[in-house]
Amino acid sequence: MEIFRKILYLTNVSVGTCVNILVIAAIVYGKFHKQKLFTFVLNLFISNLLFCTIGITISTTALFLPKGSMCPFSGFLVSSLSGITYWSIALVSINRYVFIVHFTHFDAIFSPRKTGIILLISWLYYPIIFSLPMIGIWGRYDFVGNRQVCSPMTSKEGFRLFILVSIFITVLPIAFCYFAILWKVRRTTNRVDIVGRDLSTRHQRERQLALSIILMISIFTALPIPYIVTILIDPSMMKISAWIHVVAFNLLMSSFWVNTLTYSLMNQQIKICILKMIKNGFKTKESHSNAQTMTVNILSQ
């Protein structure tokens, strides 16, 4: 069981790191990061990458050390990066909601200055909150041995309630935007706000953006459900097979790269960029190989 657990952890680290790096590289390569629609998406993928490379790596490293030896530090990192990712999902949802439902206000709401402030707050809020139990001000981190995790949620102090409220506040705009976008895409027949584009083109773009964010939110919501169910049904891990607990936990972890993969597959620009990067990579490799062959032939003459 321990070997199986470690293999799944390492698989999540490897796949998650590769997927997020590839998609981030494609966004930068295509210079999409300069577009307002991609700013918060890129932010989400960066937080996913950090979670995969830092959060899960710390947790995996802790498996090879005495149990609980890295508890406060690993708990702080994993909890903070999880919170940042939830913030990022919420920001992507709000960004898409404003673009689709309130397009005329999009540029004013997401000006460079306001976007910078929003991103700064989203990256500072949860790390500041989860640093409190680490330095002993409020709450505490406990090592849950049967789950091999270090959690601040076992505390019976008000800190646990505060975190639950914070998570609810983060999830609330996601749910609102989810249903608002669905309603808009199904009901809208408004005229185009973008000069030079007809209604069908604008509506098609709205549908594509809506489908991508709806699918991303759905997957990000669905993957943690098995883990939540196992916690509620069998918190002591005595009723259900340990294999089910391990699989459920890793499904939760995989949400930090599956949503990246899902969005990139549904976004034509990113897909084209990835294919172009791969194609150019093979061309470079082929050119390098041909150059080496020519050099060998010249030297052999």
**pLDDT tens track for 15-40:** 889 999 999 999 988 888 888 888 99
Domain that residue 9 falls in: 2-266
CATH for 42: 1.20.1070.10
Q: Does residue 252 form part of some domain?
A: yes
For 157-176, what is the mean pLDDT?
83
Both tokens of 191, joined, read 């005229």
**Surface-to-core class of residue 62, CB atoms within 10 Å of its CB (0-12 exposed, 13-18 middle, 19+ buried):** buried
Please tell me the predicted confidence (pLDDT) of residue 240.
Answer: 79
Q: Does residue 293 form part of some domain?
A: no
What is the rounded distance in angstroms from the CA atom of residue 41 to the CA atom of residue 117?
16
Q: What is the DSSP letter of 33?
A: G
Which pLDDT tens digit goes with each residue over 206-235? Answer: 667 677 777 877 887 788 888 878 877 776
Please tell me the predicted confidence (pLDDT) of residue 118.
Answer: 94
Q: Does residue 213 form part of some domain?
A: yes
Which of the residue ranges 63-72, 76-85, 150-159, 276-285 has the most confident prediction, judged by mean pLDDT?
76-85
Is the pLDDT reported for residue 296 higher than 50? no
In angstroms, the Cα distances linking 285 to 24, 29, 109, 275 are 22, 18, 45, 15
Reported as a pLDDT band with limits 50, 70 and 90, residue 197 is: very low
For 118-137, what is the mean pLDDT?
91
For 97-104, what is the mean pLDDT?
86
Q: Does residue 272 form part of some domain?
A: no
- Percent of the chain beyond pLDDT 90? 15
Tally of structural domains, the chain: 1
For 264-275, what is the mean pLDDT?
86
Both tokens of 273, joined, read 């960029």
Both tokens of 251, joined, read 């499904």
Q: Does residue 274 form part of some domain?
A: no
Please tell me the predicted confidence (pLDDT) of residue 262.
Answer: 86
Is the pLDDT reported for residue 284 higher than 70? no
Residue 192: which region, alpha, beta or left (left: phi > 0; alpha: psi -120 to 50)? beta
Please tell me the predicted confidence (pLDDT) of residue 113.
Answer: 93
Please tell me the predicted confidence (pLDDT) of residue 294.
Answer: 45
Tell me the pLDDT of the chain averaged across its residues: 78
For 269-290, what is the mean pLDDT?
70
Is the pLDDT reported for residue 46 higher than 90? yes
Q: Does residue 298 form part of some domain?
A: no
Q: Does residue 277 form part of some domain?
A: no
What is the rounded distance in angstroms from the CA atom of residue 163 to the CA atom of residue 13?
26
Q: At what angle do helices 71-101 and 112-134 cross, to 10 degrees?
A: 150
Please tell me the predicted confidence (pLDDT) of residue 168.
Answer: 83
Q: What is the DSSP letter of 148?
A: T
Q: Does residue 290 form part of some domain?
A: no
Which of the residue ranges 28-32, 111-115, 158-162, 284-288 has the most confident prediction, judged by mean pLDDT?
111-115
Please tell me the predicted confidence (pLDDT) of residue 200.
Answer: 55
The tokens 């620009």 sit on which residue?
Answer: 269
Please enumerate, as own/partner, the contacts of 165-174 that have beta carbons within 8 Å and a separation of 24 or more. Answer: 166/83, 166/126, 166/129, 167/83, 167/86, 170/83, 170/86, 170/87, 170/90, 171/86, 171/90, 173/90, 173/93, 173/94, 174/89, 174/90, 174/93, 174/217
